[in-house]
Amino acid sequence: MTLRSVTGFVALAWVSWRVVELVVLDASARAYDDLVDVYDGVAGRVTVCVVLFALLFHGLDGARVAVADLVPSTARFEPVTRAAARFGTFALGIPAAAVVLWPVVQDVLR
């Protein structure tokens, strides 16, 4: 199983979960509030960070594959574009994860 497959599965699972949240919201606003309270904890925020990294990688790697398919002459740059997708994942993901995790870190430092 490739990393692209794993990140695609994570993305699909996250979208499916969001659909479940919308169904719960339609049924009961109070139940929805209880459901999304999970995101305030450490485990919820770490899960969001994992999903964030998965979505970033899946999107950037998908763009890399799309460019390679549309412009076949770029195939010789495949190792560079693969490295660029991974770099972009971390370059964008680490600051985003810091923003997501900051409230938890702030509580620990108090």
Sole residue written with tokens 């599965």: 9
- Structural domain boundaries enclosing 64: 3-109
Q: What pTM does this model have? A: 0.88
**Number of domains composing the chain:** 1
DSSP helix/strand/coil, 22? helix
**Structure confidence by residue, pLDDT tens digits, 85-97:** 999 999 999 999 9
Nearest to 101 by CA among 16, 41, 61, 18: 41
pLDDT tens, position by position, 49-59: 999 999 999 99
CB-CB neighbours of 82 under 10 Å = 15
Report CA 28 to chain centroid distance, whole Å: 27
State the Rg of the chain over Cα: 18
Q: What is the pLDDT of residues 21-33, one digit of tens each?
A: 999 999 999 999 9
